[in-house]
Structures are given as structure tokens and as C-alpha cells.
Structure 1
């Protein structure tokens, strides 16, 4: 036990010192010390140094062979670094910037009052190019066409049989043992989730925003008997709706980047906390000489639209279920030999 004199000195020292940041000493300090390059190198293996060499070669030549899976190897390397790695943060920012630069973007704009919220059909993300990324407009191209494309479209059946169809002998399980439920999540997101769960969550968020009314941002307009302030009410409703929409989209982005994309990038079972963060504040560094700009909008690529359908990711168990269900509807006939008219009738069942 310390002496009364020592205890008194401790009390005086604490009284004269600065106010503590926390009431109690936290076990998870939010300001961890960054690791240096030498500490980072201890986490890398021989294959990671080959990845670094390939990155340098691709940077110098300006060309990258997708068959070498360089981006996937970069993710594997970054996931091995400590979570508070300085070089790891810079390299991740550069990786995000590379993904950003792979898409077309309209020029930057000055935020206007009438364009502070995204429209429902995706138009006016940029005032100088209002149709960029809007519904019913063309997709962008990540990879420019290198051969002449004739006016006659190829047979859809030929495309499916060449790219999507598979036989049992060629089926391969995913090396990371990814469940087929992962790919069904994509279907739920694109077709159903915004009509059910996210709509309900959006309504909950709007209710909370209106009730809390932080800093008077969502003060309800004063009702008048003449009803002449309908423009004020329209702005009030729109601000609540659009702000709730932004919060809901933020939840959606976190689900996709922190769970869905991590699984696709094969880091979900690696024990690492690495992930893509679109809110990162990029700075110029040795890895990233030109940080991605903000407020420019973006556009979905046709390549992404095609690959995101995940038809070839159907599991064997689900393939059997679909085949058996079709066979039942066709009174025992083989679905593979059914006519176009018969399959059309099935789609209406």
C-alpha cells in the first residue's frame, strides 16, 4: 500500500493535469500508433513480393492482364497488413482510386440548391451532363471494343450455351466455400429489398429525424387556414424523405462493402479487418499521386451489368431443385427438351 504522502502527490498531480479524454481508461484506444514499413514487411510472404513487382510492372507499362488476377492478389496483400498500417492505408486509398478511374465520370460541378439530392431516375447527378447514369440511357464501357461489331446481334441461345451453360463434369465448387446464398443476395437487393425491408427502415429513419429535429433542421411548418404555404410543406417533406434516403443508402453501402464485397474478395475468413471505405480521405502520397475527385457522379458499366447476374454461380443443389420443379410442371417431361412455347407457359405459372 502506498504512503499517504504519495497518495496526496498523486491527487495533486491529477488535479493540475489536463482533463482526461475518457471517464475511465478505455481498452480500445481510438488513436492507435501507426506501424511503419519495417513492421509491415514482416507480415508479407514471397508471393506478396511478386505481387508488388507485378504492380510496378503494370504501372510502368500501363497494361494489366486480368488473367493474372492482379487486383485479387493486391487485396490479399493489403489484408495481411496490420489494421493501423500507414503504408497499408495509403495503398488502399490508391486501390480505391484505381477502381474509381476505371469508370467514366462527368466533370465536377458546384453544388446547386435544386440538385442537392439525387433524383429517382438517376438524372442530374451532374448539371453539365444531366443524362449521365440516368435510367434508360446507355451503359459506359470499362473496356473499349477492339473488334468491329456488326449490326446483327448474335443468337441469345448461342451466347448462353457458350458462356453461361455448364455440364455436371465442368462444375467446380468455389475455393473459398462461398454459399450460393451470397449470390441470391444480389437478386434480393436488385429486385425486392428496396420494396420491403429498406422501405420500412427508411420510414423509421424519417420518423426519427422529424421527432429529434436536430438543430431545428426539420421544424414542421406552421399550418395556415388558407393553405398558402404548400411550397414550405413540400420542401419539408422532401428534405425528410431525401435525408432518410441518404441514411438508408449509407446502411446499404456498409452492408455491401463490409460483408458482401469482403466475401467476394476472399477476405471474409482471413481474420483481417481490411475493407473498402468510400469515405476515405485520400491524400497525395507515393502510392497515389492523383486522389479521386468528389461530386462528379458516376455511371454503371455494361461489363458490370453482365457479370452481376451471377447465372454461372448457381449451386448444383439449386440446379436440381429448379429442374425437378420444371419437370413437375411439364408432367414429367425433360425441361431441356421443352419448346419455347412450353417454357413461356411455365414462366406464367
Structure 2
């Protein structure tokens, strides 16, 4: 009974993470279309939510990587999965608070790896899988998107340079509807699968699935797709502003190439089962489309802040996951530990929100 309750808690936490992944990464999909006025905000978000849902059903290779390619599924426990999810959710909320488009994917992987290190030691981490399927793609993907977008925008400007600005802009805005839809579909195929993989890990730890070759149940696919779609529809407006206007002042041609380049890279990675960061990819595409026009078009300070958040994501989420697991184990593990961790998070969130909403003291009060 206690094990079933803990499994339900872990599944709820996984779907909560999936929801935060949706509203955190909405900007990746819609910011370019909104900033160039290719689509009105609510319509762009609705299209992204629907296609995120559909995309989740197109492949399960990334889910298989998460479930069996990064940590030893035979050593996983429900407490480890829960602690890893805590690390991911906390990092997602923190970066959303500051409007930084960081990677939900790497937050999830970092949280699980950190919790597993504390629980079972380094032998439970599949170093080759972590390096080959997470770290290397994390380095290569944004550079590849940067290069593809940069070359593409130069070709686009050369081809469309003789056209009248008005018709050309309208044409690229229509093209953005297509490339933006492709990007949303690609986001669903890659990002929703991470939650599927983590719930599958929890089912393995619970004993509901075979640890040797776990198959993702249909109810996991449907619930994960629904959670990320709902999160996407809620919209992460803080990050949308960063992606849409704070990196470069984007025109329709740049939005078209950035979206198309990002979609191509993500779909290729999904095909081979790499749990790619869609944030890294589309950010690389946006910067590449701006830098190819002229280097000064990119606000490199904002891009640098994003890069720092990228570098910190896995270790920061890993540290949070490790602390969450340590606290859970300290109070006795089982179901009690995760419930205590959950209570701490709820109380901390309420305190932070109240501190944020409390007005500063008046000058005369401060003087007194």
C-alpha cells in the first residue's frame, strides 16, 4: 500500500514536471512567430499545444534512452525518481522566475543523476550513455543549429533580396506558420518523452515493469502528452519576451530560418534517441540567424546569461536532486521522506511568493 502511494506521488510529480516543461519551453516554439507577428500570441500557443500533444505519439526512442540509457534501471528506486524530479522542477521554476530559457531536459537528467549518485554511488551512472547521449549532443546541437540558421538566412536574403519588402515579409510570415508548426511537433516528439521515460523508470522501481526491456505503457504516453500540452497552453511569458526580443530584433525571414533549423535538428536527434535540449537548439538558431546578418544584431550579454544557465543546469539540478534525496533518506525514506520534501517545497514557495509580493517600506518608515 505504501509503495503504491509513493508511486502515485512520483507519477504526480513527473506530470507536474511535464507541465512546467510545457510552460517553460513554450517560448522555444512560439516566441519567434509572436515577435515577427506571424501569429497572434494565443493562436500561436494553441497551435503549439496541439502539436506538442500529437508529437508525443510519434516516437518512443527518447523515452527508452531516459528509461534505460543513463542510469542503471535495476538500481533505481521511487525515492531516487522523486528526488530527481524535485531537482528538475525547482530549477525550471527558478529559471522561469528570472526569464532564462534553460533546458528542462537537462534539469531532469541532472536531477536523477544527482539523486542516484547519493543513493547508489557512481557505479549506478552509465557514464558512456550520459556522455554520448546527453553531454555531446548538448554541445553539438546549438552549434549545429547556429550554423544551419546562419547559412540559411544568408541564402534566404540572397534569394529574396530583390523582392518587395511587403510581399516578402508576408511570405515569410506564412512560412513561419509551417516552420513553427514543425518546431512544435518536434518539441513534442522529444520533450514529452522525457517524462514518459521517467515514469517508466518509476514503474520499473515499483516492480510493475521488467527492468531488462521496459515498454512505455499507453496511459503514460497519453498522460505525458496531455500534461506538456496543458503546460504549453498556459504559456511562459517571461521567457517568451527573452527569446522573442531580448536576444535579437527579429524579422520574419530570421524567424522562418531559426524555426526551420531548430525543427530539423530536433527531429534528427529524436530519430536516433538523443534527449536533446530544445532550448539550446532554438536559441542557437535565433543567435545564428541574427549573427549572420551582422554580429552587432545579437545582444551578446543576454546570450551569455543564457549560456551560463545552460552550463549550470545539470550540476544545479543534480545538487538539488541530491539534497532532496538526502533529506528524504534522513527522515526515514519510504513514503514519509518524499512527503516531507514536498512539504518543504510548498512552504518555501509560499514564503518566496509572499516576499516577492510584499511592497518595500516607505522612506519615512525606513528612516524611523
- TM-score w.r.t. the length of structure 2 is 0.29
Which is richer in helix?
2
Larger radius of gyration, structure 1 or 2?
1
